[in-house]
Amino acid sequence: MNTHKQFPEKLNITLTCASGVEKVLKSELKRLGYEDAPALNGALSLSGTPYDVARLNLFLRTADRVYIKAAEFSADDFDLLFEGVRAVRWEDYFPLNARVTVNGKCVKSKLFAISACQSIIKKAISDRLCGVYKVNRLAETGALYQVEFSLFKDVVSVYINTSGAGLHKRGYRDLVGIAPIKETLASSLILLSDFYKERPFTDPFCGSGTIAIEAARIALNIGGGVGRRFAFNDWDNFDGKLFDQAFTEAKDKEDRSRKLEIFASDIDPKAVKLAKRHAERAGVLDKIRFDVKDVKYFSTELSCGTIVTNPPYGERVYDIEEAERCYKSLGEVYKGLDRWSCFVITSAKNFEKKFGKKCDRDRKLYNSNRECKYYYYYADKKDK
Ligand SMILES: C[S@@+](CC[C@H](N)C(=O)[O-])C[C@H]1O[C@@H](n2cnc3c(N)ncnc32)[C@H](O)[C@@H]1O
């Protein structure tokens, strides 16, 4: 029996992203040629092929993970859950030696014990594979296949995680700074702003450099996942040539020679050192000018540009007075930047008051489960 047959050509693909950035992800998909991707319960779905799985993992900047949806059915008892999972053609996805883990969540459902559901699902998958492969038990000595389920209002959805670690883990950030923002959220902030390739850009609270690095990678068209591996890279039944092909496409689309005006600064010399390290690892060190600077001394000779920044929130390392001083200083500096726009994410409720100006618009976003607002100040709406 061929236990290493290739993945099915037709796949239901599900993309997850942080709450509030679904539209940004949808625009990304559109730019990649995926027009039809309806959003449902905080995820986007589309039909595609294994090649699309490779492409989406490599290119997307704002998705958390790329999943293959293996099944969806109703189940309000363990028997139905077992039968529903066993009915899936797992042999299409998992070879004989697959190491399968199961994780998930239960929300507003009769089956609410997560660990019991996990065990039932795992048993149903093993039962199916043992029957098809004609073995008494699975050796589980091969590559890891992570199954994730969600039980919502008695509807079970079962997914295979093709990304592995979340896509925010681009691979360049190896050391942790003070309150870093996820790379996927940083990209979302930039894509929501008015930044475009050659426009000057700065983050005056750069910390470990995430926002400036993502801006440089966006401007140079470096795919979000370029530089890391994905779960499917370890799967013998996933045609490696498809990844090579998607990788070649990603490399062909890069424009590393583009001249950029990206600046990043922070009051903390250790943060700036770390940001430089990460920029080097991300392949964009020569594209960003780093500086150790208190935001109150920020100045630029460039007549226009975009600020995207994630200042202290006054919750963890910095107290609220220090955070408010930062907002005030940023507001003062911004007054002198005539044709610059400014985009700030913070959870501080009185940000606009301290910044000294009402925003043109705002949007609710989450930074590591903390509810925040993203404040937009557009250059063309500035008082002259
Ligand atoms: C929330 S962290 C930024 C994290 C960053 N986005 C990242 O991904 O690593 C806020 C940063 O503001 C810096 N900071 C605090 N006060 C400052 C000031 N007055 N001027 C400039 N930077 C300041 C801190 O050193 C810290 O790195």
In tens, the pLDDT along 288-346 reads 999 999 999 999 999 999 999 999 998 766 788 999 999 999 999 999 998 999 999 99
Q: Atom 5, ligand 1: which residue's CA is nearest?
A: 207
Three-state SS for 171?
Answer: coil
Beta carbon of 190 within 6 Å of any ligand 1 atom: no
Q: Which atom of ligand 1 is nearest to the CA of 274?
A: 9
How confident is the model over 43-62, as pLDDT tens digits? 999 999 999 999 999 999 99
Q: For the stretch 187-196, what's the b/e string if a residue is b when 16 or more beta carbons lie within 10 angstroms of its beta carbon? A: bbbbbbbebe
Q: Which atom of ligand 1 is nearest to the CA of 275?
A: 9
| pLDDT value of residue 5 | 67
How far apart are the CA of 166 and the centre of ligand 1, in A? Answer: 24
SS3 (DSSP) at 222: coil
Q: How far is the centre of ligand 1, averaged over its atoms, from the C-alpha of 342 (Å)?
A: 16
Q: What is the identity of the amino acid at 215?
A: A
Instruction: Say how many Å lie between the CA of residue 285 and the centre of ligand 1.
Output: 19
Q: Is the CB of 314 under 6 A from ligand 1?
A: no
Integer Cα distance of 181 and 207 in angstroms = 9
Whole-number Å distance between alpha carbons of 62 and 17: 7
Angle at 112 between CA 118 and CA 44, to 5 degrees: 75
**Which domains, ranges and CATH numbers included, belong to the chain?**
11-161 (3.30.2130.30), 183-220+256-381 (3.40.50.150)
Q: Is the CB of 333 under 6 A from ligand 1?
A: no
Residue minimizing CA distance to atom 1 of ligand 1: 312
Write down the mean pLDDT value for the chain. 95
pLDDT of residue 221: 97
Residue for token pair 């700036």: 272
Is ligand 1 within 6 A of the CB of residue 271?
yes
Test site for ligand 1: of 170, 267, 274, most ligand atoms within 8 A of the Cβ:
267
Which amino acid belongs to residue 296? Answer: K
CA 314 to ligand 1 center in whole angstroms: 11
Cα–Cα distance, 258 to 140 (Å, whole number): 47
Within the chain, strands assigned E span 11-17, 39-40, 43-48, 63-74, 99-107, 144-152, 155-161, 201-203, 262-266, 288-292, 304-309, 339-346, 361-367, 370-377
Which segments of the chain have a pLDDT < 50? 1-2, 384
Q: How far is the CA of 279 from the centre of ligand 1 (A)?
A: 16
Question: Distance (Å, rounded) from C-alpha 193 to C-alpha 229?
Answer: 29
Q: What is the pLDDT of residue 315?
A: 78
Measured in whole angstroms, how far is the alpha carbon of residue 64 from the centre of its chain? 4
pLDDT at 161: 98
Q: For ligand 1, say whether the CB of 291 is within 6 Å of any of its atoms.
A: no
